[in-house]
A and B are shown apart, each in its own frame.
Chain A
Amino acid sequence: MTSSSDVLSPSRAGTRLTLYDAALGRPGALVLDQVDLDVAPGEILTVVGSSGCGKSTLLRTLAGLLPLLSGEITQDGRPLTGPSAERALVFQEDALLPWRTLRGNVELPLAIKALPRAERRTRAEAWLGRVGLAEHARCRPHHVSGGQRQRAQLARALAAGPRAVLMDEPFGALDAQTRAGMQDLLVEVLRGTGATVVFVTHDVDEALFLGDRVALLGAGRLIAVRDVPRPRERAAHDDPAHVALRREVLTSLGS
């Protein structure tokens, strides 16, 4: 794996994503209003909120799939106008193309970047190996488990070296054990990429484990953004500061 380090880690650092007084939603269906949010380069921001509160809308807006209704959105200070390979999106449901093998799926963003075929293959296989799917590279998505599909999606999102990774409840459909394993894997594969991550979840514990900061959504507003003490440490679960933040988050979500 000596050569894989430069294959796996992109050269550029994370990107800054900023919303100013933004109204989010579809025309005629406002979902979030007056959103001011600044996602710092390289941080992991988790977003929690009850279902239907606009988490996915926020993510799709950051991805550039959904234009703002009003306000302003910028990437590194420049207006963000549409989807780009710099901001990869990981979906909750199956977004792998079922007619491509797992390797074919991971190769797709590299093909869009017009990398030579041999390099695409090396990179895709390195990434699949990194998420533990080396043996399944030639399987089609329907032949592997839900957890393996999400790992392949992760590999696909990271393979092209995006500067931001936007994740829409990527582990939402997985069982508790697989989910914990996936969280560890995510922390492990993000290390060294420097990518900014916005991670949407309805699971408060997941949000507090993964996030440097956690954003709370509710009632059509961004309620608060809090710093998380000792992020990505399993042992931090019993930390008094952590417990207090967990209680605050749960209270504000009204559950």
Chain B
Amino acid sequence: MIRTAPRAAQYALRVTALTAALGLWQLLTSLDIDLWLRFSQFPTVADVAGAFAGRLSGPDYWTDLTDSLTRVLTGFLVAAVLGVAVGVLVARSRLAEDLLGPLLEVVRPIPAIALVPVAILLFPSDEEGIVFITFTAAFFPVLVSTRHAVRALTPVWEEAVRTMGGGRWRILGSVVLPGALPGIFGGLSIGIGVSWICVISAEMISGQYGVGYRTWQDYTVVDYPGVFVGMVTIGVLGRLTSAAVELLGRRLTRWLPRTSCVPGARVPRRTHQAPAPAAAGPTPAPAGPGPKEDLPHDQLV
């Protein structure tokens, strides 16, 4: 009961802020304000909303959307699987570290989008090239965070399982993967954000269909409301996918100690979602209050 009033106020505040921003935009553009920043060429909110409504009823919008989504998810899923596998391998095996380590360290600093020429040379079609770039973008954050998480595991967990007679695979399945999961999800959250950046950029350069391709097409034909429709679409898709990754992560790492559950003096670990808002970029605000709300509630329990 205590929570309802502040919560309603909180939502009211958020809606007000958003409405005010849109109102300001509408005002600046409809009045064609030109004070160093030039809003005269800018589409108004109403223009964009109209264009959006038009697009939603057309066939291309949904094709673009599913194309981009398929590319992102394919690249991201392959990156998640390979990133975790290679990360575990490199963290657990000296040989793998020596063989793969130097190569990975040299390739890692290259921005995925700079690999467009490589992708064009390497793959028979643009489609695979775009997926490849998306994959590369997400692969390294996942790899690096998996490697760190596996190396940071408490050694007694592994020793305990070994003295129960557990072998290599048992240790992998019962200790390494579950124990590293919070760290892995940190990497996945960053990875999905970077994947979107790269899929849109790659589509702008070499795509056929896709939200990035459409946005760039609209720009070249001077359809500015269309460009904004594309931007809003990218924002919403990015937000939804990273929220899905975070939700899954929170579900799978329920066991993480929280402030409420710790009877002793153990310092509560921050939830692994912490780095995510930075990666999600466009919409960090809604992610913030979640843990803060939980805190007083959990402490009562």
Tell me the A residues contacting B by CB distance below 8 Å: 60, 63-65, 83-89, 91, 93-95, 97-100, 108-109, 112-113, 140, 142-146, 160, 166
A-contact bits for B241-280, CB 8 A (1 contact / 0 none): 0000000000001011100011110000000000000000
B159/A93 in contact, CB under 8 A: no
Contact (A95, B257) CB under 8 Å given A63-B163, A83-B162, A112-B170: no
What does DSSP make chain A's interface, helix, strand, loop or mixed?
loop
A97/B174 in contact, CB under 8 A: yes
Q: Which one of B164, B256, B257, B262 lies within 8 Å of A112 (CB-CB)?
A: B164
Can you show 14 pairs from A to B with CB atoms below 8 A apart?
A65-B163, A88-B164, A94-B156, A95-B157, A95-B160, A97-B160, A97-B179, A98-B255, A98-B257, A99-B179, A100-B255, A112-B166, A142-B255, A142-B261
* Chain B residues with CB under 8 A of A94: 154, 156
B159/A113 in contact, CB under 8 A: no
Q: How far is the CA of A65 from the CA of B178 in the complex (A)?
A: 22
Which among A64, A89, A97, A113 has the highest number of chain B CB atoms within 10 Å? A97
B120 lies within 8 A of chain A by Cβ: no
CB-CB nearest 4 A-B residue pairs? A85-B165, A99-B255, A109-B164, A89-B163
A109/B165 in contact, CB under 8 A: yes
Q: Which one of A108, A144, A166 lies within 8 Å of B174 (CB-CB)?
A: A108
* Chain B residues with CB under 8 A of A113: 165
A86 to chain B: closest residue by CB: B165
Contact (A85, B164) CB under 8 Å given A98-B255, A98-B257, A99-B179: yes
B78 lies within 8 A of chain A by Cβ: no
A-contact bits for B146-176, CB 8 A (1 contact / 0 none): 0000000010110111111110001000110
Given A95-B160, A112-B161, A142-B261, 12 more A-B residue pairs with CB atoms under 8 Å apart are A63-B159, A63-B163, A86-B165, A97-B179, A98-B255, A98-B256, A99-B253, A108-B166, A109-B165, A112-B165, A145-B263, A160-B164
